Amino acid sequence: MSVACKKCGAVMVWARNPETGKAMPVDAAPDANGNIALEVGYENGKADLFANVLTRDELEREPGGKRPLHKSHFATCPAASEFRKR
């Protein structure tokens, strides 16, 4: 489910980082320079959206155009610094 960023209004989704378990904002629109693959997975019998951050090596092995890649909204939001925890 997509939502609008409270600061810039861009459309984004919240997805869980499978390594940290934390939710992260991800731009909903695919980006040619993206490094995040969004995938639906199941945890405790419940569907969830996962953000798999690809390494440089994984990106090089990624067949061109096979799946859309996205960017972290922290990387594209002009107001990202206002959301960082201190």
pLDDT digits (tens, 9 = 90+) for 55-79: 888 888 876 667 899 999 999 999 9
Contact 50, 39 (CB under 8 A): yes
Domain boundaries, position 45: 2-82
Task: DSSP letter for 29, please.
Answer: S
Position 26 scores a pLDDT of 97
* CA distances for 20 relative to 8, 41, 52, 78, 80, angstroms: 26, 15, 11, 25, 20
pTM exceeds cut of 0.75: yes
Number of structural domains in the chain: 1
Residue 24 and residue 17: Cα distance in Å, rounded?
A: 7
Give per-residue pLDDT as tens, 31-57: 989 999 999 988 788 889 999 998 888
Q: According to the model, what pLDDT value does residue 12 have?
A: 97
User: Can you tell me which residue has the tokens 């201190």?
Assistant: 86
